[in-house]
Amino acid sequence: MSRKGNSPDNGIMESFFGILKSEIFTVMRRHFSLLNNWNKLL
């Protein structure tokens, strides 16, 4: 088990969540961009 503040134990999960967050924000940006384009067309 990893201990609090032991970064080598948490490195893999930190990397995973960093990638996950960047992917989520990329998808959200694209989604809102498409919504804004549709609103401008209407």
Q: What is the pLDDT of residue 34?
A: 84
DSSP string covering 23-39: HHHHHHHHHHHHHHHHH
User: Which residues make Cβ contacts (< 8 Å) with residue 14, sequence separation at least 6?
Assistant: 7
Q: Could you tell me which residue, 4 or 38, shows the higher pLDDT?
A: 38
What would the pLDDT profile of 3-23 be if each residue is shown by its tens digit? Answer: 666 666 678 888 899 999 999
Q: What is the pLDDT of residue 23?
A: 92
pTM for the predicted model, two decimal places: 0.56
